[in-house]
Structure 1
Amino acid sequence: MNLNYPIILGSKSPRRKEILAKAGFEFTVEAKDTEESYPAEMPHIEVAAFLAEKKARAFAADTNYNEHIILTADTTVLIDNELLEKPKNDDEAFSMLSKLSGRAHQVVSGFCILVNGNFEKYSDETLVYFNPIEDQVIWDYIRNHKPFDKAGAYGIQEGIGLTHIEKLEGSYFTVMGLPIHKVYQALSAFAKG
C-alpha cells in the first residue's frame, strides 16, 4: 500500500515491528518514553486504546512529525476484570501466570494513528484459553524468557504461549500486540489514490 505520508512506529516492541514489516509496510521506529498511567475509574477494556493515544500525544507537540503517520500501540491483559500489567519481578510474573493457568482471559490491543494533529484510536479484543500450567513450567518460563516487558507476563509466540494456549477467539496478532487487520484498514484511509 502506497501511503500519502511516511509511517513512524512509536513503539519499542520488536513484536509490533515484526508484524508491521510482515504486513508489507515501510516505516521507521522512534519511540518516546511515556508514563503508562490512566484514570483509576477508567473501564479496564478502554485502557489499551487510552495509553496508545497517550503515546501518540508525546509526538504531537513537535512539528517535525507533521506530514507523517505516527502509529502507537498498547496491550493489556484482563482476567476477572483485573488488569494484569507488565510484571515488575519474578514473583509478580509467577502470580500472573498462575491466575491465567487453566482459564480464559481477554487480551486488548489498542492503537492510535496521529496525522497532522488528528488522533484516531482503535482497539481489538481476543479471548485466550490457557491449559493448566504446572508451577515448575511457570518458573522455567520466567527464568528462560524474562517476560517483564509483556502484559500478563507471557508472549504468545514463545514458551508457555506456544505450549499452553489451547485456543483463541479473535486475532493472534492482537495477542502479539498489534491488531494488524484493523491497522491495515485504518491506514488505507491514507493510501495514495
Structure 2
Amino acid sequence: MSSQLAPVLCLASASPRRRALLESIGVAVQVHPCDIDETPLANEPAEDYVRRLAQAKAHAARSMTPLPTLGSDTALVIDGQILGKPDDEAHAAGMLRLLSGRRHTVLTGVAVTGPQGMLVCSVATQVMLRDISDSEIAAYWRTGEPCDKAGSYAIQGMASVFVERIEGSHSAVVGLPLFETACLLRRQGVPLWNGHLPA
C-alpha cells in the first residue's frame, strides 16, 4: 500500500477521496489540510475561482513541508452560479432540486508546487442528473453523504444512481482529475506507481 511508503507529496486537503485517488496511482502523501477563505470574489469566473483556491491551498501547505505540495478545489456551476458545500438540509435540498433533471458543469482546479514553481490546471466535466424526487432528496440527506460535498452529492457514492451520464473526467468530479494531475506531478519530479513509473 502506498500509505506504508515514504510520502513523496504533500496533499493540502483533508479529503479522503483525493488521498485515495492519489494512492490509486501509487503516490504516497502526507496530509496538511489548509483552512482558507473560500468565498468567491465579486464577478469571479468559476474557472478562475477553482484555480485560485487550488493555488492558495498548495501555497499554504508549502511552508509546512519540503515535499512538493498539491492543492485542489472543486465547484459545481449551473446557471452561472457556483454551488459549494451545503450549510444544512434545506440548502442541500435546494441545490439538488436545482440540479435535478439538468446538465451542470463540475470544475476542478489543481495546483502543484515544486522545482518548476507553481503549476496549475483546471478541468471541466459535464454531468447530467436524472429527475430526483423530493422523497429521494430527503432520503439521500439522511444518509449523511451530501453534508460535505460540493453541490450536495457524491458521484462515487450513493448519488451515482442519479447520474444519467457524464462528459469528461469522472475522477475530476470525484475530486481530482488523474490524467492532468499525473502530468503536473511528473513535471515536478513526483514519481507515480510507487516509484515504478519514473517522474
TM-score by length of 2: 0.87
Q: 1:151 to 1:90 in 2, by over 3 A?
A: same
Match of 1:57 in 2: 59
Match of 1:101 in 2: 100
Asked whether 1:16 is paired with 2:18, we answer yes
After superposition, residues 169-184 of structure 1 pair within 5 angstroms as 169-184=167-182
Structure 1 residue 59, shift from structure 2 partner: 2.6
Q: 1:55 to 1:41 in 2, by over 3 A?
A: same
Match of 1:91 in 2: 90
Mapped partners of 2:145, 2:156: distance in 1: 14
TM-score by length of 1: 0.90
After superposition, residues 1-193 of structure 1 pair within 5 angstroms as 6-60=8-62, 62=63, 65-66=65-66, 68-115=67-114, 118-160=117-159, 162-191=160-189
Mapped partners of 1:33, 1:83: distance in 2: 19
Q: Is this contact kept in 2: 1:145–1:159, CA < 8 A?
A: no
Q: How many residues align?
A: 185
Structure 1 residue 65, shift from structure 2 partner: 2.5
Structure 1 residue 37, shift from structure 2 partner: 2.4
Q: Is this contact kept in 1: 2:85–2:148, CA < 8 A?
A: yes
Unaligned runs of 5+ in 2: 1-6, 190-197
Structure 1 residue 50, shift from structure 2 partner: 1.0
- Say which SS state the counterpart of residue 17 (structure 2) adopts: helix
Mapped partners of 1:33, 1:116: distance in 2: 24
**Paired amino acid for 2:65:** Y
- Say which SS state the counterpart of residue 47 (structure 1) adopts: helix
- Shifted more, 24-33 versus 70-79: the winner is 24-33
Structure 1 residue 169, shift from structure 2 partner: 0.3
Mapped partners of 2:87, 2:173: distance in 1: 20
Structure 1 residue 118, shift from structure 2 partner: 2.1
Structure 1 residue 131, shift from structure 2 partner: 0.6
Q: Is this contact kept in 2: 1:38–1:51, CA < 8 A?
A: no
